[in-house]
Amino acid sequence: MPRDFLDSILDSVETGSKFGVTALAGLIADKAGEADDPVAAFVLTSSANMLRKHGIEGLGMARAQLDALLDGDNLDPTELRKLPLSERAPLLAAATQREINARKVGDEALAAVGSVLGKLVEGLASGAFSA
């Protein structure tokens, strides 16, 4: 999760870090490029950009933005509206895909339950008629 990665950086980096702000921003940007999840990619890219723009204080700003955007594991629509459309669109697409995937899993589980119940009823009915 990007929050864990960002927390580990904040916990270990001090202003006098040997990496320097530019190198650290590059490291975070590289992690963003490796991310499969668009939300994680956004958070890491945003963190790298804030670091480049605001220096080491940018990491704290990135954490505050992440905490504001996420309500648990869900995106907060009020905070999401504050982002420019170019940043908002991939996050909305990712959230929509997550919801679709969750519904598919729910539908598959209901289908499995229906199948088991169908077999149970079939077995009960065949036992009742054979007796």
Q: For residue range 33-86, what is the model confidence (pLDDT) as tens digits?
A: 888 877 778 878 888 888 888 887 887 888 887 777 776 666 777 777 887 888
Contact present, 61 and 47 (Cβ < 8 Å): no
pLDDT reported for residue 100: 83
- For the cut 70, the answer to whether the pLDDT of residue 17 exceeds it is no
Q: How confident is the model at residue 9 (pLDDT cuts 50, 70, 90)?
A: low
Least confident of 7-16, 29-38, 81-90: 7-16
Give percent of the chain above pLDDT 70: 76
Mean pLDDT of 105-113: 74
